Structure 1
Amino acid sequence: MTDTIIAAEATEAPAPATAPRPTATIDVVIVNFNTRERTAECIASVLDQHIDGLTVIVVDNGSTDGSAEAFVERFPEIVVIDAGENTGFARAVNRGVHAGTGDFVLLLNPDATVFPGSLEALAAFARAHPEYGVYGGRTVRADGSVDRSSCWGAPTLWSLFTFATMASTVFRTSPVWDPESLGRWERDTVREVPIITGCLLLTRRITWDALGGMDERFFLYGEDAEFSARARRAGYRPVIVPDAVIQHDVGGSTASSGRKMAMVLAGKVTLLETTWRPWAAWAGVALLQAGTAVRAGLESVTRSSRQTWRDAWTLRESWRRGYPDAEAALFGRTPPARPRTRLRPQRRLVVEAEPAFRTAHANPYTAQLAGALADRGALVRDLSYARVAFGRVDVIHLHWPDLSFLSGRRRVIHIARLTLFYSALAAARRRGAILVWTVHNVEAHEERSSARLRDRAHRLLLKSLDGILALSPSGIDAAVSAYPELAAVPAAVTRHGDYRDAYAFGVSRDEARARLGLSGEGPVLLFVGQIRAYKNVVHLVETFRRVPGHGTLLIAGHAPADLAEDIRAAAAGDPRIAFHLGFVSDDDLPAYLAAADLVVLPYRRVQNSGSAILALSAGRPVLVPDLGAMQDLRTDVGEDWVDLFEGELTAERLREAIDRATGRGETASPDLADFAWPAIATQTEQAYRAFRCHRDTASSARRGDRRP
């Protein structure tokens, strides 16, 4: 049946300029069936929190109590989908998710009330810890006591045996005799769990899509357990976040009866049949029937007024074959024809990067790339020799191999690092891993270790590569020119992402200059970044001193002691030149950039420049040499923002650049759409997969050549 969207109205507020990261958008999907008032309370508890970027999507499963019309009238800002019939939970959820566009998908039961701050806490944890993939919370009853149904242990033959023998009932919450309850744990700590239930379940949309959504063979109950099992097979680790709390009225959409228990059992049978081997599933179903029979017998012997288990036993022919047969037997409807095969999730990409997150304090570039890849569902970690050697890994990604392996003075350490890495790499490659190098620079800016060891390290790297990435088209040409061996290695371009979300670029020019103690008059030039000899800062100081006027040159960045002395000597006490020759904090960096009219980077050699991207991210034009990829950068951003000079920077050329920068006045920020991290992460992931495909194809061809 075609869905009818009765109402759809949702707006996304723009993120403030000072936000370190934009607000994630969340689609809250609620499935309703004849629980109009309780579902309305649930919707209100979500909307009352006034969360930016949140959309509520309600799928009404053919209710006869006027639910859909009531929701449209009372909550005009939400999306209501009238399914027209009771399609069950899994199909309704998939329809609701398909109708949304949020970064995250949150499943919420209609009989839940969300506590203030819970959704923000859940989303914040998910963004900070993308490796888990599937997230749940803590559920409580109306009296505040813990309700353990937010998560469960996975069923095993042992847990079903304890069910069949009544041990799980007699010794309730025992970690041995009732293992699916996860013991006496109160769901009050962060903990990985086998199953997150659909009463409160959060995941990224891209993860949802990669896993294939809910398995629509399930009608009601069990689909969340199968989804969690599929997530674990794909490499995710479902986790409980205790700061996310809801009040849950269990079973609000179904009657507490033997028929409901039959649905629960049908879901469990289907779970076993879709996730276990046939012989184990057969044994598990037999144990479920045995446990049901024992409980039904006890109800009869004790003449209990409850007959839940007696009814379930009577209905055993309806549920013991699971769904979809149970759907026809219990609901009198013929389910859509679907193949009885497992959904196979797309395998999660596992990346060991050197570095990934560990250098974020000095340069957020690799951390932002790793985070953007994680947002696409990849598991990205800082390089571990042990994980590369013995764990599951798809990609080993190096950025600055000389710095990674040859830093420090002790050559024995350099040799040990190289030996450990390439030994681990050999083991990983036998399991299908690939090695990728982002060629930030075609030659190291500083000579590390001995010439002989550097040469050996380069030869090891070049013969081991499965692909290279460059930050511009000219970067590939430069890499191949410097290392002809790379002509036979697959290559791709992935730009250097912007820094707009890494720093709080919200301070005004006047505020920044006042904070730095600068005069409000005259142009301000800025050099920013780590100071090294090849960056030519001494020459910049000398050149600026020959430019007449009353402007200011700011030098901000850490410099080695001898180079710092050379810079101060070159300034010769000129009051127009100010220094901060130390580490620039994340709080101070935006102020330096906001105070500047022009950022000057007079490098003697350069291929790519993170400092140039940083300046453009802050909305400041740059003056850079016509070297490396700077021409590409000007083509991408425009000549109003990237001013090139040829040869050595002269006083006349610097004066010209100052006049150009100050004459433009306040203008809009540069268009950095091509430098957005989501697009770069997509390009990077596509490059990884292309490199793996090329390697696999080449390996198959070599095996074919060896056949007689």
Structure 2
Amino acid sequence: MLPRPRAAGRIVVASVPANHVYVRHLAPEDGSGPVRLPDPPPAEAASTQQWWPPVMLDAAWVEDNDFDVFHLHFGFDARSPAELRELVAALRRRGKPLVFTVHDLRNPHHPDRRDHDRQLDVLVPAADALVTLTQGAAAEIRARWGRDALVVPHPHVVPLDTMRCAAASREVRRRGPRPREFRVGLHVKSLRAGMHPHPMLPVLVDAVRDLPGAVLQVNGHNDVLRPDGKRYDAALAEALQHHAARGEVDLRIHDYLDDDALWAYLASLDVSVLPYRFGTHSGWLEACRDLGTAVVAPSCGYFADQAPVLTYGHDEDHLDADGLVAAVREAYAGHVAPAPGVEERRAQRARVAAAHARLYESLVGDGR
């Protein structure tokens, strides 16, 4: 059994994963609090920074390593229910409590919900403690499994120093001598299963055309919008090229953006429209809020429960085109919630970290 790296008296958490921005921001800024073990690199990893697929989900890893609490967030997509049951059994044999944060009640990468539901049917009943991000998700968990989840809000995504710079830039633009463009962003990324921008595109084109100085900017990845891309969507790509040729869309096609480029892109928008037809919570939403970019979010999932957003009707069965137009117009008129400031996010992070530390302590107590 490998010894655990531990400072005196600090709880050691096997966090799956550890190197994810959400998980990193569960820790106090000063690095105090529980110790999170680093992600073991998979055997086939190209670098020491790669955490997928998570080695900690192997029952053998649980048997061979020491820690106080096992906390699962993401990364179990490729694990069968039988493999997850083996993980739970290994934790039980070791007497290690399992904490499960239910980020996704519907997996945004799966067109069919059944596999994810089967995984949840193992993890939710087995967990010693459940965490989720919204009251709406907690209510669904209670209805489906009869379990109560601790509701802890999503911490900031963007680094606090970057937030501060973005706020200063916004203030300079606000005081500038001339009116600037109003940029409405639709980001199709690599078009994961939960996204359905196709029927939204003509609605947004018409909505933005009616707003003086407004520009519809659509960003997408090469793998979806280039003919040689592995996930090329001809219908979407051709529609975008058509609107771009008519000057109705500012189309940006590129590879994945690194963090600095992503923050700069989001900060350049006035509003980001989330094209989801299913899902639960959103880190993208939080990043936009960090950078002062308003969010238009769909009615599916618990996005509107997660933070103050403008909402339009969208799920697997229906798109409310009038509601989408109205939400964009509300954003254009400035009827949006104020962006959280740096100190507000700093204080929230401290509360989030303290809530997790208390939870771990309640599960471990003097037993460690």
Which TM-score bucket, shorter chain as reference?
0.7 to 0.9
Whole-angstrom distance in 2 between the partners of 1:463 and 1:684: 20
Between the aligned partners of 2:134 and 2:184, the Cα distance in structure 1 is 27
2:6 match: 235
AA in 2 matched with 1:601? L
Distance 1:510 1:682, change over 3 A: closer
Q: Is residue 2:278 matched to residue 1:605?
A: yes
How far apart in 2 are the matches of 1:449 and 1:539?
A: 20
Out of 105, 123, 142, the position equivalent to 1:461 is: 123
Q: CA deviation at 1:498?
A: 1.1
Query: Match of 1:690, SS?
Result: helix
Q: Which one of 150, 163, 181 corresponds to residue 492 of structure 1?
A: 150
Which AA in structure 1 matches 2:313?
E
Matching residue of 1:221: none
**Quick one: percent identity of the two aligned structures?**
23
Q: Which residue of 2 aligns with 1:556?
A: 219
The answer to whether residue 65 in structure 2 is matched with residue 391 in structure 1 is yes
Q: Decide whether the 8 Å contact of 2:106 with 2:113 is kept in 1.
A: no
Structure-to-structure mapping, 1:494-533, within 5 angstroms:
494-501=152-159, 504-505=162-163, 506=165, 508=169, 521-528=180-187, 531-533=191-193
Q: Does 1:479 align with 2:141?
A: yes
Which letter maps to 2:192? R
Residue 387 to residue 650, structure 1, CA distance change in 2 (3 Å): closer
TM-superposed CA distance for 1:503, in Å, is 7.3
Match of 1:584 in 2: 257
> Relative to structure 1, is the Cα distance of residues 437 and 584 closer, same or farther in structure 2, using a 3 angstrom cutoff?
same
Pairs aligned (count): 320
Q: Map Cα deviations across residues 152-194 of structure 1 (whole Å, 9 max, x no partner).
A: xxxxxxxxxxxxxxxxxxxxxxxxxxxxxxxxxxxxxxxxxxx
| Aligned counterparts, 1:408-447, within 5 A | 419=83, 422-423=85-86, 425-447=88-110
Tell whether the 8 Å contact from 1:472 to 1:629 is kept in structure 2 after alignment. Answer: yes
Which has the higher relative contact order, 1 or 2, with Cα contacts under 8 A spaced 6 or more apart?
2
User: What's the counterpart of residue 339 of structure 1?
Assistant: none
TM-score scaled by structure 2? 0.72
Name which one, 1 or 2, has greater alpha-carbon Rg.
1
- CA displacement at 1:541 relative to structure 2: 1.6
RMSD over aligned Cα, in angstroms? 3.8
Distance 2:338 2:112 in 1: 46
The alignment status of 1:645 with 2:312, answered yes or no, reads yes
Map 1:191-206 → 2, pairs under 5 A: none
Q: 1:594 corresponds to which residue?
A: 267
SS at 2:259's partner residue? Answer: coil
Q: SS in structure 1 opposite 2:356?
A: helix
Paired residues for 1:283-322 under 5 Å: none
Per the alignment, residue 13 of structure 2 pairs with 351
Mapped pair 1:366 → 2:23:
yes
Q: Structure 2: how far apart are the matches of 1:456 and 1:665?
A: 41
Equivalent residue of 1:376, what SS? coil
Map of 2:51 onto structure 1: none
Q: 1:378 aligns with which of 15, 35, 52?
A: 35
Q: For residues 490 and 633 of structure 1, do their structure 2 counterparts lie closer, same or farther at Cα, with a shift above 3 Å needed? A: closer
In the TM superposition, residue 476 of structure 1 has moved relative to its aligned partner by: 0.9
Residue 633 of structure 1: CA displacement? 3.2
TM superposition score normalised by structure 1: 0.40
Task: Assess, with a 3 A threshold, how the Cα gap between structure 1 residues 567 and 581 changes in structure 2: closer, same or farther.
Answer: farther
Matched, 1:660 2:330: yes
**Equivalent residue number for residue 569 of structure 1:** 238
Q: Which deviations, in whole Å up to 9, do the C-alpha atoms of 1:216-271 show, x marking residues without a partner?
A: xxxxxxxxxxxxxxxx99922xxxxxxxxxxxxxxxxxxxxxxxxxxxxxxxxxxx
1:573-607 C-alpha deviation (Å, 9 max, x unpaired)? 33232133531221211221222111111321232
Residue equivalent to 1:290:
none
Which runs of no fewer than 5 residues in structure 1 stay unpaired? Answer: 1-231, 237-344, 407-413, 513-519, 697-708
Q: 2:352 and 2:135 mapped to 1: Cα distance?
A: 15
Distance 1:425 1:373 in 2: 32
Q: Kindly indicate whether the alpha-carbon contact (under 8 Å) linking 1:390 and 1:428 is maintained by their aligned counterparts in 2.
A: no
Gap change, CA 1:448 and 1:370, over 3 Å in 2: farther
- How much has 1:493 moved relative to structure 2? 1.0
CA distance in 1, matches of 2:303, 2:337: 22
SS in structure 2 opposite 1:591?
helix
The whole-number CA distance in structure 1 between the counterparts of 2:320 and 2:200 is 9
Instruction: Go from structure 1 to structure 2 and tell me whether the alpha carbon gap of 1:599 and 1:366 turns closer, same or farther (over 3 Å shift).
Output: same
Report Cα offsets for 1:318-357 as digits up to 9, x if no partner: xxxxxxxxxxxxxxxxxxxxxxxxxxx6x32111111111
For residues 546 and 669 of structure 1, the distance between their equivalents in structure 2, rounded to whole angstroms, comes to 27
Shift of 1:617: 0.5
Aligned residue number for residue 619 of structure 1: 292
Q: SS in structure 1 opposite 2:310?
A: strand
Match of 2:49 in 1: none
Contact 1:533 1:563 survives alignment (8 Å): no
1:616: Cα distance to partner? 0.5
What amino acid is aligned across from residue 606 of structure 1 in structure 2? G
1:475–1:455: structure 2 CA closer, same or farther, 3 Å change rule?
Answer: closer
Pair 1:676 & 2:348 matched: yes
Evaluate the alpha carbon distance shift between residue 651 and residue 457 of structure 1 in structure 2; reply closer, same or farther with a 3 A threshold. Answer: closer
1:179 aligned residue: none
User: What is the CA–CA distance in structure 2 between the aligned matches of 1:600 and 1:673, rounded to whole Å?
Assistant: 23
Alpha-carbon shift at residue 400 of structure 1 (Å): 2.9
Given candidates 161, 174, 196, the residue that maps to 1:536 is 196
Q: How many Å separate the matches in 2 of 1:465 and 1:611?
A: 27
Q: Which amino acid aligns with 1:569?
A: E
8 Å Cα contact 2:297/2:311 also seen in 1: yes
